[in-house]
Amino acid sequence: MDALALEASGKKLPNGSSITALPPTTPAKRKPAKKAKKAVVFFEVEILDAKTKDKLCFLDKVEPNATIGEIKSMFHKSHPQFYPARQSIRLDPKGKSLKDEDVLQHLPVGTTATFYFRDLGAQISWVTVFLTEYTGPLVIYLLFYFRVPFIYAPKYDFTTSKHWVVHLACMCHSFHYVKRLLETLFVHRFSHGTMPLRNIFKNCSYYWGFAAWMAYYINHPLYTPPSEFTNIQFILVTLEFFNFCQIGNLSIHIALRNLRPPGSKTRKIPYPTKNPFTWIFVLVSCPNYTYELGSWLGFTLMTQCLPVAFFTLVGFIQMTVWAKGKHRSYLKEFRDYPPLRSPILPFVL
């Protein structure tokens, strides 16, 4: 104990030797072990022509988290004529197109992935398509309404109809397409940015052709509403029904818009909101088509014109096809989708 005390104080021992105090030893710090980096397994992607099976492109060292959209951009660099919107990339030559957001490593492919390419043709934006489709009927109808030359007999050029129903019909028709144009610019959010250019000719033929056919007869100098339907009460009822459905259609479009954030492609189940026009969501999957049908049914009863009735029937058939497709998509995507809903008509269709 005395030696330890002398060592700590640095004093000499009785035999004359001294003990030097040693500094306290500290344990050496160990360097943290470096985490082993996970090896990234890159993919090799070959793209074949869906028709001829010829190899079009080979992409080496593609990251596993690359999306189909990024692969389209890589393919575009080697084939500048096929911009991404024009490309259809598939797992099978006759299969469905993969989504741009699909991730490579989540697809049923190996590290050497084979995709098939199909050219969708020249593309055009949906906004341009809608603006073209809806501007045509608006302008065409007004040409017949104002009876510009070379449509009817020269003595009727720039004359006005004596039937006030004709003027109401023009206001309703114009309001409908002005509403559609404004919705295209400020309401709609499109999940797909483009569509094939060739489709615009088919769509415009439908809208423009029917607008000219309806306008020709409604604004014809010899047009006379059936006598039993000329009472003011009936016309006002059909007018109110038309306006009611137009407001309902707009309300549904706004509700659907609010389900999808800007720049997103997320899909959600639409439910009724505080707006009473959206309460029809309880029974119908696509109430925008239901209100659209109601608008043209009211327009048909107001004008009592056979071409309008035929346009309403054709539109109903087409909207039913669209509504059934969306309804099936909802049922497939959402397990908790409300079971009481019908595609377009409650409890019927």
pLDDT tens per residue, the chain (349 residues)? 444 444 444 444 444 544 444 455 555 566 665 555 566 788 889 999 999 999 998 998 888 889 999 999 999 998 999 999 999 999 998 888 898 888 988 898 888 889 999 999 889 999 999 999 999 999 999 999 999 999 999 999 999 998 889 999 999 999 999 999 999 999 988 877 788 888 899 999 999 999 999 999 999 999 987 665 557 888 888 999 999 999 999 999 999 999 887 767 778 899 999 999 999 999 999 999 999 999 999 999 999 999 999 999 999 999 999 999 999 999 999 999 999 999 999 998 8
Report which of 253, 255, 249, 290 is spatially closest to residue 273, judged by C-alpha positions: 255
Same domain, yes or no: 150 and 248: yes
Residues in the chain: 349
The pLDDT of residue 34 is 59
Tally of domains in the chain: 2
Strands 123-125, 194-196: pairing kind: antiparallel
CA–CA gap between residue 205 and residue 312 (Å, rounded): 16
* pTM of this structure: 0.80
Same domain, yes or no: 153 and 241: yes
**Residue 149 maps to a domain:** yes
Where among 121, 155, 174 does a domain terminate?
Answer: 121
Same domain, yes or no: 111 and 139: no
CA–CA gap between residue 132 and residue 176 (Å, rounded): 15
Query: Residue for token digits 């020709």?
Result: 216
Report which of 108, 104, 95 is spatially closest to residue 43, judged by C-alpha positions: 104
The pLDDT of residue 344 is 96
Same domain, yes or no: 78 and 202: no
Same domain, yes or no: 194 and 308: yes
The pLDDT of residue 192 is 72
Same domain, yes or no: 69 and 88: yes
The pLDDT of residue 340 is 92
**Residue 136 maps to a domain:** yes
Show Cβ contacts of residue 75 under 8 Å, excluding neighbours closer than 6 positions. 47, 56, 57, 59, 82, 87, 89, 117
**Residue 9 maps to a domain:** no
Where among 92, 121, 150 does a domain terminate?
Answer: 121
**Residue 329 maps to a domain:** yes
- Encode 67-81: b = buried (16+ Cβ within 10 Å), e = exposed: bbebbbeebbeeeee
Same domain, yes or no: 117 and 129: no
Same domain, yes or no: 132 and 144: yes
Amino acid letter, 292 = E
Query: Residue for token digits 């995507």?
Result: 333
Same domain, yes or no: 101 and 174: no
Report which of 265, 242, 123, 246 is spatially closest to residue 180, judged by C-alpha positions: 246
The pLDDT of residue 5 is 42
**Residue 31 maps to a domain:** no
Same domain, yes or no: 252 and 143: yes
**Residue 214 maps to a domain:** yes
Where among 90, 121, 152 does a domain terminate?
Answer: 121
> Token pair for residue 68?
């189909």
CATH number of the domain residue 61 falls in: 3.10.20.90
**Residue 25 maps to a domain:** no
Same domain, yes or no: 149 and 169: yes
Count of other CB atoms within 10 angstroms of residue 224: 11
> Token pair for residue 97?
């197109």
**Residue 163 maps to a domain:** yes
Range of the domain at 110: 43-121
Cα 218 to chain centroid distance, Å, stands at: 35
Cα–Cα distance list, 150 to 25, 179, 210, 224, 243 (Å): 110, 29, 19, 22, 33
The pLDDT of residue 326 is 95
Same domain, yes or no: 93 and 51: yes
State the first-to-last Cα distance of the chain, in angstroms, to the nearest integer: 102
